[in-house]
Chain A
Amino acid sequence: MRFIYTKTFAIFAACLVALAILVFMQVKGWLDPIRTAVLQAPRPIARFAQFVSLPVKNFFSTIYQLKKIAGENVALQSQVMSLQQALVQENQQALDNEALKKELGFVKTTQMQLQPCTVLSENSFSLNDALVLNCGTEDGVQEGSAVISQGYLVGKIIYTGKDSSTVLLITSSQFSTDAKISQNSVNAIVRGSFGSGLILDQISQTADAQKGWLVVTAGINQQIPKNILIGQIGDTLSSGGDLFKRVSIVSPIDYNNLDFVFVVK
């Protein structure tokens, strides 16, 4: 029996005709009222099903979100740590910048040949009040050269290597150099004093040494040029019966926190 003569084909053809009528109605726009009615029919069931399924969906999405939040938390913690490290570096760079600005403020006005150096470490060779710099003979640094910071004498080179050198700070008890009082050119000796900072010694008892007067290098030692600031006269340490007058020197330099210095070539 041919398929087209079967009941199946007849019903199929009837369905196709019904579909064609519906398509025609849809194109003409006559199907809209039926469409609205058909769309509204399953609504109560859909609403009820949504009411049941929504808590389930929220439950699983909350669990999924928790896992995601935990992952985000770990990532954020690691980000915070790296940002904190970056912040520490930035703070250090800001401090270095300030120190360099101060140094550059002096460098612009001076006529001396200066070699900028970074302080690598403090208190090497078991020496108190000593610094290690990252400049050596390759940079033109010599033993005995003056080391200055912000225009003030901070020490002298006592050891040079190829690319590093050791500075004996002016506050060391082993340090001494010639100096003079700027106001009256009275010669004296500057010494470091353990626990007492800087002392201007061997001033003539008849010479005037008033508080606040500037003390500079005398230039007798050829390696340390003259007129490098050392500090200001502070208190008188000697009495009238001593052979020489001794006064303290106050310097604005913080010798414990030096990061950049200049070596006078």
Chain B
Amino acid sequence: MKYLIYLITIIFLVGLNLGLFNNLQLFGQIPNLPFLFTLCASLEKKSYDYFFVAFISGVLLDFYSTSFFGSFTISLLLVALCLQALANIVAVFELNWKSLSLLLISAMVLLNLFYWSYAFAAYKFHWALDFIAFRSVTAAFLPSFFYNLIFLYPMFLLYNFVKKIIDNLSLRRTRITI
């Protein structure tokens, strides 16, 4: 059930991303809501749900992307893994604007790096006909970062809301079972 809720949420975020932000671009950039949702999910300690969220978000983004299939999926999986490792290593992890900004910037750097590396590897192995230049990936990093930063906290609240729904559902199931 929880995976269905995650799936519906991610589809909702993709639809929102496409419909809303295509008309509200900032220097030609739009925020990446599924990426932000994955980032929030990966900060959850002692949970493996972030794999599912990262995988589904990545597959959906790959379907909408023009690059070789799997670029977003592998990138989001790796970024989620790195952030989860960071969340587990740092014992006291207080979420505030400073830590969220630092997390976002490092996540975006890793995402761009993995995304470009995968596309380059696909080109080198002759799976893809061309690859995007690293400069074009990093060209709009700053406007993209600021736009994503604006929506990071709302996504964090959304993730908490979704988590609460899932927890309530699992509690009900436990009560019914008992």
Residues of A within 8 A of B (CB): 7-8, 11-12, 15-16, 18-19, 22-23, 26-27, 31, 35, 38-39, 41-54, 56-57
- Nearest chain A residue, comparing its CB with the CB of B60: A38
Given A12-B77, A15-B51, A23-B69: A38 and B63 interface contact (C-beta under 8 Å): yes
B38 within 8 A of A: no
Between-chain CB contacts (< 8 Å), 24 pairs? A8-B48, A12-B81, A15-B51, A18-B55, A19-B55, A22-B59, A23-B69, A38-B60, A39-B63, A39-B64, A43-B15, A45-B12, A45-B15, A45-B19, A46-B15, A47-B19, A49-B16, A49-B19, A49-B20, A52-B19, A53-B22, A53-B24, A57-B23, A57-B24
Find out whether the CB atom of B48 lies under 8 angstroms from the CB atom of A50.
no
Find out whether the CB atom of B22 lies under 8 angstroms from the CB atom of A11.
no
Find out whether the CB atom of B74 lies under 8 angstroms from the CB atom of A42.
no
B133 within 8 A of A: no
Which residues does chain A contribute within 8 Å of B15, judged by CB atoms?
Answer: 41-46, 48-49
Q: In the complex, what distance in Å separates the CA atom of A135 from the CA atom of B48?
A: 101
Find out whether the CB atom of B11 lies under 8 angstroms from the CB atom of A42.
yes
B14 within 8 A of A: yes
Which residues does chain A contribute within 8 Å of B22, judged by CB atoms?
Answer: 50, 53
B31 within 8 A of A: no
Q: In the complex, what distance in Å separates the CA atom of A46 from the CA atom of B74?
A: 25
Which residues does chain A contribute within 8 Å of B48, judged by CB atoms?
Answer: 7-8, 11
Which residues does chain A contribute within 8 Å of B69, judged by CB atoms?
Answer: 22-23, 26-27, 31
Which residues does chain B contribute within 8 Å of A56, judged by CB atoms?
Answer: 23-24
Which residues does chain B contribute within 8 Å of A12, judged by CB atoms?
Answer: 51, 77, 81
Find out whether the CB atom of B63 lies under 8 angstroms from the CB atom of A35.
yes
Minimum Cβ distance to chain A for residue B177 (Å): 24
Find out whether the CB atom of A54 lies under 8 angstroms from the CB atom of B23.
yes
Q: In the complex, what distance in Å separates the CA atom of A116 from the CA atom of B71?
A: 83
Q: In the complex, what distance in Å separates the CA atom of A231 from the CA atom of B22?
A: 83
Cross-interface CB contact of B18 among A11, A16, A18, A49, cutoff 8 Å: A49
Which residues does chain A contribute within 8 Å of B20, judged by CB atoms?
Answer: 49-50, 52-53
- Nearest chain A residue, comparing its CB with the CB of B85: A8
- Nearest chain B residue, comparing its CB with the CB of A23: B70
Q: In the complex, what distance in Å separates the CA atom of A170 from the CA atom of B165?
A: 109
Find out whether the CB atom of A19 lies under 8 angstroms from the CB atom of B74.
yes
A42-B11, A42-B12 are known contacts; what are 6 more A-B pairs with Cβ within 8 Å?
A11-B51, A41-B11, A45-B12, A49-B20, A50-B22, A51-B19
Chain B 19-59, CB-CB to A under 8 Å as 1, else 0, gives 11111100000000000000000000000100100110001
B73 within 8 A of A: yes
Q: In the complex, what distance in Å separates the CA atom of A82 from the CA atom of B108?
A: 53
Which residues does chain B contribute within 8 Å of A42, judged by CB atoms?
Answer: 11-12, 14-15, 18
